Structure 1
Amino acid sequence: MNDNSKIWQLCLDTLEKQELPDSRKIDKIIMESVFRSAKISSINDNKVVITTPYSFNVETIKNNQKDIEEILSGMLASPITVEILGEEDFKKTITVQNEQPFKDNLNKTFTFDNFVVGSSNRMAQNAALLVSSNPGSNFNPLFIYSNPGLGKTHLLNAIGNYAKETNPSLKIRYITSKEFVDEVIGAMKGKNSNDIYLKYKNLDMLLIDDIQFLFNKEKSSEIFFHIFNELINNNKQIVITSDKMPEELQGIESRLISRFNSGLSFGIDPPEFETARAILEKKIENLDNPSLIIQDDVVDFMANHYCKDIRNLEGALKRLFFCSIMNHTNNIDMAFALESFKDDKVVQNPKTALTKELILKTTAEFYYLTISQLVSKNKTRKLTTPREICMYLMRELLDITFAEIGTIFSNRDHSTVMKACARVDNKIKKDPDYKLAINKLKHKLGIN
């Protein structure tokens, strides 16, 4: 006898002993032939479905529905709602639910083919391609993190689209953490949060975007943890994106951080100049005007000044495109571009656009490194020289302290930064080639 059967028989034992009004009294024959032949077919949160082999018995059982609900509420320590169905009707309900088309929520326009790859995102893209080709393998979960606007959502959808194309039968779901929280809240209001667990545990691949918004939401986090464990334990692929590394997430339990770190974890840096330019060229190709010509120096200018955030880059291109339509021109030169961007700070006063992020990106690009390498604690010579130069440029060109610079470079002590800047200053005075390299870097930063 399973748990549901035990609950039902105990419920009937209690019902049989109760003093009921004549209108709801149950004689022994009806109890044995009608009530005890019925069963509990499902318990989902606060809803219990009771089924009977014969549909004509439904009304007889319904006569005592309130009594049954009161008894079950006491047994299960929760207010219970009972639904009574014939077994055939119950089976039809389950069949209809199973036959409903499964919504993957994928954005079909985001693919690997139109994702521009560079040194800033190559590792994350390779990992994404790997798990989409072989979901649920050794690299599970995959955790991708970066600042907003650098391609996480594109990669997440590309994974789902590629996996679906390879195997159309896969059950894949893309969802943001905010949408997941809304689902949980809606289910809790309807007293059927267990339905969410049942819905997600049958997935082959779960793609969850911006996980940072899920935490500090106790019930949602708890449900997600159980879904996460169920999928991982059954070798179902999970891919997660966030604006922070797993260990930097606030309000998250250590057990989940441990789970996140058990798979692959890669960051995406702001695109280096070449990647930003390639992204921009692809966006230009997709504009609804094949006759539009944007001069190379304009493309360079935009890639250089709007590359910190790909969405900003797209926004700048849309503004340029709009201005070309309003001015009835298909030839965009630098003068036209500067006029179009005249309200932007980068045009009003280029020096105000100089930031620590831009200095990091430009230095990393100049020395063929990633920003992660540049700010790391690795002390190899390949990294030490560019790192010290980057510190020096921040100190010289920005109004920030040695301590602030140290924080950027993996929380180094202010005295370490001070000594590094002094070494660079001395070397500039003694080594013309070294000085030339720094001047080239300054030129790339727009400092003449």
Structure 2
Amino acid sequence: MTRAELLADDPLWLILLKAVVLMLIGPIMTVGLILADRKIIGRMQNRPGPNRVGPYGMLQSIADAIKLPFKEQVIPDTADRKVYFLAPVIAVVPALIGLAAIPFGPEVSIFGERTVLQLVELPVGVLLVLAGASIGVFGIVLAGWSSGSPYPLLGGMRSAAQVISYEIAMGLSIVGVALYAQSLATGQIVDAQRSGWYFYLLLPSFVIYVISMVGETNRAPFDLPEAESELVGGFHTEYNSMKFAMFFLAEYTNMVIVSAFATTLFLGGWMAPWPLSAIGGGVLNTGWWPVLWFFGKMFILLFGFIWLRATLPRFRYDQFMKLGWKVLVPAALGWLVLIAAVRAIRNQGNVSTGQILVIGGIAIVVIVLLSLLLPERRVPDEDSVPITGGGYPVPPLDLKVPETTPRRKALKAKAKSATKRTAALTSAKEGSDDGNV
């Protein structure tokens, strides 16, 4: 039976059990990742991480998770309350849904029922995961807009531009995998890698995807939407308490999803690595062992997120956009053309796939390096605004700052009404005193 047929025969109690486990993966791994983030970065930067709550600080994330729901909620006066409350939910829920199409293992037995370790096997499962990872940006944009403050709005706009830019490169990197696997179903993509994992057969696609997934999740060095050095705190400046925690939950859950997706597309999914896969005729690729291999590969990618945050400085926004639009997207398009040419040549000649891919990969690397190293030629424009500040544009000198803001208007109106009420009460009191006299 195929994976789809096995899943179709699952009883209701088994479907609910899988759904509950998938919903718990995000919050549980978020607690562990926040602790690992702080401890590993502390070790890399030669400083102590959390070391007060529990043995070796192991309970710090649990203490934070207990503290945040009980903190006082402060809502800006100018906030759109309905959207303000809804935005964190929009950011979290799609992130949790994306795990439904990820195959965590092969056919197993759960309480005597034969099934596969996957919730749904869709013909377009890849698109479901991409949609779940990208829809969360609406929550970020709405959070910035509904706060009624300029800096969160700027952070939300940056996040929208960032996700659109890197979503294109990510989608193009996945097209090569779909061409080789001849399917968009995640389970079939894993099965197609039995003869070779795609991370070395499609190395440029893997590199583009890894860079794009860091930009997609707003992680350093691409964490421009929440760059506290530029935008106070980004889109969640006006959030606190449990709603602030939900944005952290969405960020770390998205990290888990894109890492699990990379494992599925490029690292053989739940299949054991080469030395272990040859033991006992592939016995380690059966039963519950593959769950260990899947999470092991995923944890390696998650460690890469932490490593990047500890070592690389933050990009400037223009550098960040240049990398996405001028490097990743053209490289992905050129690589797709090469893949299509390889498949056409293979159908007509005796040239091996490896030889063509190696030559094409070297050519693409050379083109990308030349595009990065060669200086840009700028044509002077007579009507252009003069540029100062070391070659970077600055705001015009006649920029007018608004005299007031919506928040100040609301506060002034509130203070004015309070003054009127006080004057009315005072006059009423004086009148009553005069009558008593």
TM-score by length of 1: 0.23
Of Structure 1 and Structure 2, which has the larger fraction of its residues in strand? 1
- Structure richer in helix, relative to its length: 2
From the CA coordinates, give the structure whose radius of gyration is larger.
Answer: 1
- Structure with the greater relative contact order (CA < 8 A, sep ≥ 6): 1 or 2? 2
